[in-house]
Amino acid sequence: MTPPPTSAEARGLHAAREIEGHLSALETFTPMALGVLSVASGIYTYLGVSSLLNNSGALTFFAAVAYSLAVSVAIFVFWSYLIRLLPAMRSAASRLGLFLSMALGSLAIIAMSSWLNAAALAGSAAVEQHLAKTVQQYQVGLEQAHRVAVAAQGLGLDVARTRQSFQDLSAQEATGNLSGTAGRGAVFRVLIQKADELAGLEAQIAAQGPLVDAAFAEGNQILSRMRALTASVGDVEQRSVEFAEESVRLAGLIAQLRQLSVAPLVARAAQDLSASVVVPELDGSTDSIRSDQRSTIDAVLTLLAQRATTLKAAADEVLAMPTPDDTTYAPISTADAVLRYAGDFIPSWAGAIAIDLLPAVLVLIMMVAQGAIRAERGTVAPEETMTLAEVRAAVMALRALEPPPATGPGSAPVAAPEPLRMAAAEPAGPAAQPDVPPPHLISGTR
């Protein structure tokens, strides 16, 4: 005979039945909630797949629909299995096995659905982020190319200073203050020759100035249009096409600015300044005058070598400046943009993953609730936990199993079974007292 439950066990049974009642109420709409979550994930998955499939034909549409439906069914079935089976597991090994299955299934859901959901949620913003970063790269390239070109234009001052020094020396030679003989002899012609070469180089440098300014201004205008395409509303794919066209123009302007730099020209001119000297025939009337002319020309050549070295050093400093890297805009899809700039869209990624893995929280809640029910029931025998409805059902089942009464002529009448005595009946005696179920169990409800 099973002893009646203690008061603590009775309270535990009452709490367990209360939790079971709540679970019974929650189970009425849990499948509907799982269905809504799986359908929502399937919709966003469809949008993500559509962004990857560039073709807009009927086959592409049905392929995207089929994929999204497969994702919805997989999510619904997967979490339905776990929400039923995992809370019912009692051993640690079985729970661990299902936990590993849940982790593996969650990774599969993220791989096949969550990143596509993120592409649907933040795909356009990620592409705009890609456009904005590309604009920054082009801006840096344009500014570097302009900086190098302007620094090269500054070499014009060095060339002008060297040219002016040779013109001053030629003026001194014309008055006889250089070689000691006034006139326009051999020394004068050497000085004028180099002054004219430097004047031509100076003119070339000056001619490049307006071209550099015009290219830089046009590049800034293109950058303004590219920024407007980045921040404007409308289809991001169409804006990307226009952005690509502007980027091609800007890349050409940056290359043009690099070609407009006169630093290589000045470096070559400085190298030829002392190497390509045409020494005229000495035209002095006496040997003393010719000797003075020769010594003066040697001094001029030494001066040319020094000035050439100075110009070459200045040109090398400009050539050593960092040149802009080649920037090329590469169109990118929304899914690729979300993956590349994932760190900039953490909230979108969190929402995309949460819509797929939120049922895991329901599974854990069910596990806690089922564990609480088992703990509250404790070691009470099953017959002590039967409710009045269960007792009635058991009595009816027993009556159905009884043989039918005999109706033959010689049969004795069969007494009808006595009705089940409820807890309200008085006990027959002291010895029968333990056989009567406790009143609080007979009248309890689940």
How does pLDDT run across 334-346, given as a tens digit for each residue?
A: 878 888 888 888 8
Domain count, the chain: 3
Q: What per-residue confidence (pLDDT) applies to 91?
A: 84
- By the 10 Å C-beta count (0-12 exposed, 13-18 middle, 19+ buried), 201 is classed as buried
Q: What per-residue confidence (pLDDT) applies to 387?
A: 64
* 245 and 314 fall within a common domain: yes
- Does 293 score more than 80 pLDDT? no
- Does 175 score more than 60 pLDDT? yes
Average confidence score pLDDT of the chain: 78
Query: How remote is the C-alpha of 111 from its chain's centroid?
Result: 15
Lowest-confidence segment of 13-27, 74-88, 407-421 by average pLDDT: 407-421
Structure tokens at 319: 């050539």
The CA distance from 45 to 112, in Å, is 9
* 211 and 328 fall within a common domain: yes
* 194 and 265 fall within a common domain: yes
Give me the helices (H) in 261-286, please. Answer: 263-275
Q: Does 55 map to a domain?
A: yes
List, in order, residues 6 or more apart from 147 with CB less than 8 Å away: 321
Structure tokens at 92: 């640690």
Average pLDDT for residues 24-43, to the nearest whole number?
87
pLDDT tier at 440, thresholds 50, 70, 90: very low
Using DSSP, state whether 184 is helix, strand or coil: coil
* 392 and 369 fall within a common domain: no
Q: Does 15 map to a domain?
A: yes
pLDDT tier at 287, thresholds 50, 70, 90: low
Kindly report the backbone phi and psi dihedral angles of residue 347, in degrees, each rounded to the nearest multiple of 5, phi listed first: -60, -40
pLDDT tier at 421, thresholds 50, 70, 90: very low
Q: Does 267 map to a domain?
A: yes
CA proximity to 75, closest of 317, 360, 409: 360
Q: What per-residue confidence (pLDDT) applies to 406?
A: 57
Q: Does 164 map to a domain?
A: yes
- Does 98 score more than 80 pLDDT? yes
* 158 and 169 fall within a common domain: yes
* 228 and 361 fall within a common domain: no
Using DSSP, state whether 48 is helix, strand or coil: helix
- Does 435 score more than 80 pLDDT? no
- By the 10 Å C-beta count (0-12 exposed, 13-18 middle, 19+ buried), 428 is classed as exposed
- Does 40 score more than 60 pLDDT? yes
pLDDT tier at 223, thresholds 50, 70, 90: very high
Using DSSP, state whether 157 is helix, strand or coil: helix
Cα three-residue angle 165-177-301, rounded to 5 degrees: 50
- Does 353 score more than 50 pLDDT? yes
CA proximity to 324, closest of 96, 140, 121, 58: 140
* 395 and 379 fall within a common domain: no
- Does 227 score more than 70 pLDDT? yes
* 281 and 369 fall within a common domain: no
Is residue 323 within 8 A of residue 258, CB to CB? The reply is yes
* 375 and 392 fall within a common domain: no
Q: Does 106 map to a domain?
A: no
| Domain span holding position 437 | 387-404+419-446
* 286 and 160 fall within a common domain: yes
pLDDT tier at 281, thresholds 50, 70, 90: low
Using DSSP, state whether 411 is helix, strand or coil: coil
Lowest-confidence segment of 198-202, 260-264, 438-442 by average pLDDT: 438-442
Q: What per-residue confidence (pLDDT) applies to 429?
A: 43
Give me the long-range contacts of 381-390 (CB less than 8 A, separation at least 24).
381/2, 383/2, 384/2, 384/4, 384/5, 384/13, 384/441, 385/13, 385/441, 386/441, 387/17, 387/441, 387/444, 387/445, 387/446, 388/442, 388/443, 388/444, 388/445, 389/445, 389/446
Q: Does 114 map to a domain?
A: no
Average pLDDT for residues 436-444, to the nearest whole number?
44
Identify the CATH number of the domain in which residue 253 sits.
Answer: 1.20.1260
List, in order, residues 6 or more apart from 68 with CB less than 8 Å away: 42, 43, 45, 46, 49
> Which has the higher per-residue pLDDT, 441 or 373?
373
Average pLDDT for residues 284-307, to the nearest whole number?
71
pLDDT more than 90, % of the chain: 14
Q: Does 129 map to a domain?
A: yes
- Does 31 score more than 50 pLDDT? yes
How does pLDDT run across 356-378, given as a tens digit for each residue?
A: 898 999 899 888 888 877 776 65
- Does 436 score more than 50 pLDDT? no
> Which has the higher per-residue pLDDT, 133 or 292?
133
Q: What per-residue confidence (pLDDT) applies to 319?
A: 86
Using DSSP, state whether 204 is helix, strand or coil: helix
Lowest-confidence segment of 130-134, 288-292, 321-325 by average pLDDT: 288-292
pLDDT tier at 289, thresholds 50, 70, 90: low
pLDDT tier at 216, thresholds 50, 70, 90: very high
How does pLDDT run across 122-164, given as a tens digit for each residue?
A: 888 888 889 989 999 899 989 999 999 998 888 888 888 888 8
Write the DSSP string, 94-129.
Answer: HHHHHHHHHHHHHHHHIIIIIHHHHHHHHHHHHHHH
* 320 and 349 fall within a common domain: no
Average pLDDT for residues 196-225, to the nearest whole number?
89
Q: Does 256 map to a domain?
A: yes
pLDDT tier at 262, thresholds 50, 70, 90: confident
* 221 and 283 fall within a common domain: yes
Q: What per-residue confidence (pLDDT) applies to 237?
A: 81
- Does 177 score more than 80 pLDDT? no
